[in-house]
Amino acid sequence: MTTSVMRFEASKSSTDAARPLARLSLAFLALLLPSLVTTAHAVTGPWTSGETVRVRLLSATDAAGTGGEVRAGLQVSLNDGWDTYWRSPGDAGAPPTVDWSGSTNLASVEWRWPAPTRFTLFGLETFGYLHEVVFPLTVHPKRPGERVALRGQADLLVCSDVCVPKHLTVSLDLPTGAATSDAEASNLIARYEAQVPDDGSGSGLAVQDIAARLGTPAALEVRIASRQPLAKPDVIVESGKWSFGKPAFSFGPDGRTATAVLPVTSGPDTVGLPDSPVTVTLLDGLLASETHGRIAAGTALVGGNWTLDILPFRGAAPAAAGHWAVFDEAAARRLVAQGKTVFVDVTAEWCVNCKVNEALVLGQPDVGAALRAPDVVAMRADWTRPDPRISDYLARNDRFGIPFNAVYGPGAPRGIVLPEILTQDAVLGALHRASGTAKISAK
């Protein structure tokens, strides 16, 4: 690197007098620059490399803020051909763990698991991640509003032709102060939060019943239902005692129901299968749901109300496709001041629940007609790629993930925030209240 030097003509006495000041200025800059660099990258900790894998912590905001939690993530980047494991790795492997005991002002860290990929090798079934994964974290400080210093000792097993355990240190400092959203980090965390299995309300995937097939060989039968035709489903069953192989599927006539039969591959005598607790994860492309229940012997026995009303899953109505304006927060405020009602939809190509909302609610005739009414402006914010305008807007509404929908109008200038999983009644009701008038036209 070439350094350019500017030369000044000066008398000897003035030059000598300036030297101490110059040294002081350089010393001050030397102290200041590292802090500037740290501040610019406060939302991400340093990468720690383990040859085939590297890890770091990232935060959706640049400070601890005043709330009781901070959205964060553990980013794992793997070399080509290497993988790491899910919480239940299957026939081999080990899940990642982090010891947070070296942290300061930390009460707890809540860890969430994005849906895994099934790997089949020489008859072994394992579950994990290739290339990259971000594990979404919710950080709970002991003393909200004060600085949080995250210090973690991470243990990961990474595998290719061989498996290698890695012990890596991760760190991230969140200073005291107001929390400002970071566009890149919050978007990346949200992408992987969208991949965490839901309870079926958004994904439309549900377990109808779980039953044991006793005999030789023993198997588990899982009947599933989907709001839309199943494309390439998978079923993972977790049990504290038994392991289960890859499922074989038989499909209903409309393709929206199926029965998966999973062979019992290991565990104690299968006579104990009935009434034992299991966790069932359903996967179908980008869709994923998680269900907890107990195994029945021949008849359905599941914990909770998991029966899914099978609804047709259609794309957005063609008439609704062209009425969306590009999100502009300042323009939305001006429109409300003019007496308009503004509906804001924050969405992304990678957000499964956003697409569910669009297909089952926003694209339906009654809602689409209401959004096209003369006194209503529908705005769409596309967060597929990081956008600081959108991430800042979400942060001001205490949100760092999507779906996010809000309605503004003369009757609700500060906005009505809608639930993440929309219903037609919720949308139409919010439009009515925000308008401040007797009725929102659906004609």
Q: H or E stretch including 28?
A: helix 12-40
**What confidence score (pLDDT) does residue 322 get?**
56
Q: What CA–CA distance (Å, rounded) separates 86 from 99?
A: 17
Tens digit of each residue's pLDDT (9 = 90 or more) over 199-227:
998 899 999 999 998 888 899 999 999 99
Q: What is the DSSP letter of 162?
A: S
Q: How far separated are the first and last CA of the chain, in Å rounded? A: 68
| Whole-number Å distance between alpha carbons of 245 and 223 | 16
Spatial distance between the Cα atoms of 55 and 421, rounded to a whole number of angstroms = 33
Which of 220, 215, 229, 226 lies closest to 302 in space, CA to CA?
220
Beta strands in 82-239 (DSSP E): 83-90, 97-99, 108-111, 117-121, 124-130, 132-140, 148-159, 163-174, 205-213, 219-226, 233-238
Give the phi and the psi of residue 433 in degrees, each rounded to 5. Answer: -65, -40
Q: Which two tokens stand for residue 102?
A: 């070296």
Q: Residue 261 pLDDT > 50, yes or no?
A: yes
Task: Dump pLDDT digits (tens) for 268-306.
Answer: 998 889 999 999 999 999 999 999 999 987 643 344 333
For residue 8, name the pLDDT band (cuts at 50, 70, 90).
very low
Lowest-confidence segment of 7-11, 266-270, 363-367, 394-398 by average pLDDT: 7-11
> Three-class SS of residue 171?
strand
Residue 73: closest CA among 43, 101, 41:
43
Is residue 358 predicted with pLDDT exceeding 60?
A: yes
221 strand-pairing partners: 211, 261
Residues 132-139: what's their mean pLDDT? 97
The four Cα atoms 142, 143, 145, 146 give a dihedral, to 10 degrees, of -90
CA distance 173 to 374: 49
Average pLDDT over residues 397-409: 90
Query: With 90 as the cut, is the pLDDT of residue 359 above it?
Result: no
pLDDT of residue 179: 87
Q: Write down how long the chain is.
A: 443
Confidence of residue 124 (pLDDT cuts 50, 70, 90): confident
The domains of the chain, with CATH numbers, are: 48-193 (2.60.40.1250), 205-294 (2.60.40.10), 318-435 (3.40.30.10)
pLDDT at 250 over 80: yes
Nearest residue to 125 (alpha-carbon basis) of 251, 216, 240, 234:
234
- Using alpha carbons only, give the angle 178, 135, 165 rounded to the nearest 5 degrees: 130
pLDDT of 123 over the 90 cut = no
Read off the pLDDT of residues 103-113 as tens digits, 9 standing for 90 and up: 999 999 999 99
Instruction: Provide mean pLDDT across the span 133-146.
Output: 96
Positive/negative CA dihedral, 330, 335, 340, 344: negative
240 compared with 248, residue with greater pLDDT:
248
Question: Which 3 state secondary structure label does DSSP give 73?
Answer: strand
Sole residue written with tokens 């008859």: 123
The H or E element that residue 184 is part of is helix 183-193
- Closest-CA residue to 347 (of 395, 379, 388): 379
